[in-house]
Structure 1
Amino acid sequence: MEFPKDPNILFSIINMKLRDGDYESLSDLCASLGYDEQEVVSTLQKAGFEYNGDIRQFR
């Protein structure tokens, strides 16, 4: 899957896939989609979102 340029779309995709239980962690999800985990975190942090590993969700 191509890395979305819009951080809000990325936020939605990542949270949906984590919520649906397809992946056990952000690392697993990123590896499966071919995304660089640091790029995902950085992109979403710049947009004001923080990752909470306890609930496996960006907020």
Structure 2
Amino acid sequence: MLNKSLDTMDPNILLSLVNTKLRDSYSSLELLCDDIDIEKHKIIEKLKTIGYDYDESQNQFK
């Protein structure tokens, strides 16, 4: 689901979804991406468009 809609999804909504999943269900962005079958760089690049970067030590985009 997320993979198909990533290109058209509002990056602010994506930010909320990804950070919630990272907080509640996944210990790393890699595990989340593996589970939803999406390339990590696609999420990273989309969220960079609104000024967010992945903080591995805190497991969230900020």
User: Taking structure 1 as the reference length, what is the TM-score of the superposition?
Assistant: 0.87
Residue in structure 2 matching 1:28, options 28, 31, 34: 31
Q: Give CA deviations for 1:16-57 in whole Å, capped at 9, x if unaligned.
A: 01111x112101101111221001000101111111000000
**RMSD over aligned Cα atoms:** 1.1
* Long gaps (5+) in structure 2: none
Number of residue pairs matched? 58
Do structure 1's residue 16 and structure 2's residue 20 form an aligned pair?
A: yes
Give the Cα separation in 2 of the matches to 1:16 and 1:56: 11
Q: TM-score by structure 2 length?
A: 0.83
Residue of structure 1 in register with 2:55 after alignment: 52
| Paired position in structure 1 for 2:10 | 6
Who is 2:46 aligned against? Answer: 43
Gaps of 5+ in 1: none
Q: Percent identity?
A: 38
